[in-house]
Amino acid sequence: MRTRLYKNWWLLLFKGILTLLLGIFLLFNPEATARLFSVIVGILIGVSGLFLISGSVSHMRANYEWTWWLLEGLVDLLVGILMIFNPLQAVSVIIILLAIWVIIMGFIQIITSINIQYYMTGNLIL
């Protein structure tokens, strides 16, 4: 096993060089990175939508909730297409949703920390 690893050292070197170049490219090209990310996620969501549509149509008789699968598949397909053809806008929407989530989590943590004081002995002040 060790001999094989030593024999193919150049594959690890090649992978390391490619990874390094990719990292440098992504670091210095954030717009291209955002586009690539959006397109890849859009493809994954679109393929998921196609599978859901296919599954809903092929299981119409066996699954009484096939219409929900179809609706979810159509929404996934639409979102995937939008992400592929409008990658920067898609990333902007994702960032906005992430920011909203972080704000909500901040409020929840503040409220939780205030409410938990009532259960603590000594009532620490924030």
pLDDT per residue as tens digits for the range 67-103: 999 999 999 999 999 999 999 999 999 999 999 999 9
State residue 124's pLDDT score. Answer: 56
Distance (Å, whole) CA 25 – CA 32:
9
pLDDT (mean) for 106-114: 90
Distance (Å, whole) CA 76 – CA 10:
42
Amino acid at 99: A
Which residues have a Cβ under 8 Å from the Cβ of 91 and sit 6 or more positions away?
34, 35, 37, 38
Please provide residue 114's backbone torsions phi and psi, each rounded to the nearest 5 degrees.
-70, -45
Please state, rounded to an integer, the average pLDDT across all residues of the chain.
Answer: 88
CA 106 from centroid of its chain's CA atoms: 21
State residue 118's pLDDT score. Answer: 73
State residue 120's pLDDT score. Answer: 67
Q: Which helix (H) or strand (E) holds 120?
A: none
Distances from the Cα of 95 to the Cα of 41, 71, 91, angstroms:
14, 25, 6
State residue 11's pLDDT score. Answer: 86
What is the DSSP secondary structure assignment for residue 27, as one 8-state letter?
H
Q: Which tokens hold the place of 34?
A: 């955002």
Which residues have a Cβ under 8 Å from the Cβ of 41 and sit 6 or more positions away?
83, 90
Full-model pTM: 0.66
pLDDT (mean) for 12-39: 92
Question: Where are the chain's structural domains?
Answer: 2-119
- Is residue 40 a contact partner of residue 92, using CB atoms and an 8 Å limit? no
Evaluate if residue 18 carries a pLDDT over 80. yes
